[in-house]
Each structure stands twice: as C-alpha cells, then as structure tokens.
Amino acid sequence: MAKLVPENHPALHTIAEEVTEEEIANGTIAKLVKDMKAALKTYDVDGYTAVAIAAPQIGVSKRVFIVEDQSNDRDSLPSFVAINPRITKTSRRTHLVGEGCLSVPDRYGQVRRHKNVTLRALDETGTEYERGAGGLLAQIIQHENDHLDGILFVDIAEEVFTKAELDARNQT
C-alpha cells in the first residue's frame, strides 16, 4: 500500500510531470488514484482527518490530486479526481486561512489564498471538466495544486506554528 512520504522527499519539492493519455488508458492512473485514496483514509492525527491528497505526497511525481473528505462532522465536500489540473481563474479577493498538511505533520500556518477559483482538469476517464469553487474547496484546490508545483504550505505561509503553539493559542 502507498504511504505518505516524509517532508524532505524529492517528489514534494519538484514540479510534477503531466499525465499522458496512455497512462490514463492503460490503468496506471486508476491504480495511482486507488493508492492515493487508500493513503488518504489512513491519515488520522490528533482527530484531524484528511480531505485531499496529491500524488507527490505518496512519492509519485505526477500531476494528479483528489478531494475526498474523510470527515463526518461537517457538510461533505464533493469528491473528485483532478488530472493535469490548471487554475484558470482566481478572484481578486484573498483571505488569510489556516492550513495543515499530511506531508508536514505537527505544523500549521496562515496562508493567503484566493477566495474563489476556477479549475480545469481531466477526470479519471480522461474527460476534461471545469468547476468553480469558493471557500474551503477553493483553498483545498490551491493547496493541492501547489503540491504539483513542488510548493508546501510552509513555503508560502505568513506564519507557521506547531500543534503545541496552536493548542496554547486556542486555550487563551
């Protein structure tokens, strides 16, 4: 089974390769998506569940991410696969939002993200689609897309803190 790679893994710090039509047709991407879903389901740290994962997070430098909310305590996010995704439009309005990451355990941060984005990508069958997103889903799309460009949230965060620092803040 695929596992999350450590923060220093090269796949997390390089621009991922485009997926080819052949990789979709021959089942390579179907297996990759299955492995990503399995890795996503195993994540549970201090009660936090995962909502999305990018291929580089399991050591595969391919331009694929999935959104599949593992939480039961909020309105569920839509589940989808994004192959060779491109953010084609962003709102002018941005906001500072809290983020964590499967690949950067025990650290959280404040990242400036666009409030709304439009994503164009291929689904797991190779069919192109476009979807708009706002709020949390827009944030997730930007975060996962960053992974495909070798960027971790700690690279662009305005502030980074540990879980202990976060817990101390929440108690005051």
Rg, Å, the chain Cα set: 16
Q: Is the pLDDT of residue 44 over 70?
A: no
How many CB atoms neighbour CB 164 within 10 A?
9
68 membership: H or E segment, kind and range: none
Residue 16 DSSP label: P
Q: For a pLDDT cut of 70, what percent of the chain falls above it? A: 94
Pick the catalytic residue: 17, 124, 144, 165?
144
More confident residue, 171 or 108: 108
Q: Is 144 a catalytic residue?
A: yes
**pTM for the structure as a whole:** 0.93
**pLDDT bracket for residue 47 (50, 70, 90):** low
pLDDT band at 70 (very low <50, low <70, confident <90, very high): confident
Question: If one looks up domain 10-171 in CATH, what number appears?
Answer: 3.90.45.10
Return the residue matching tokens 């909310």.
Answer: 69
Over 70: is that where the pLDDT of 72 sits? no
Tell me the pLDDT tens digit for each residue of 119-128.
999 999 999 9
Residue 103 confidence (pLDDT) above 70: yes
Q: DSSP secondary-structure letter at 2?
A: -
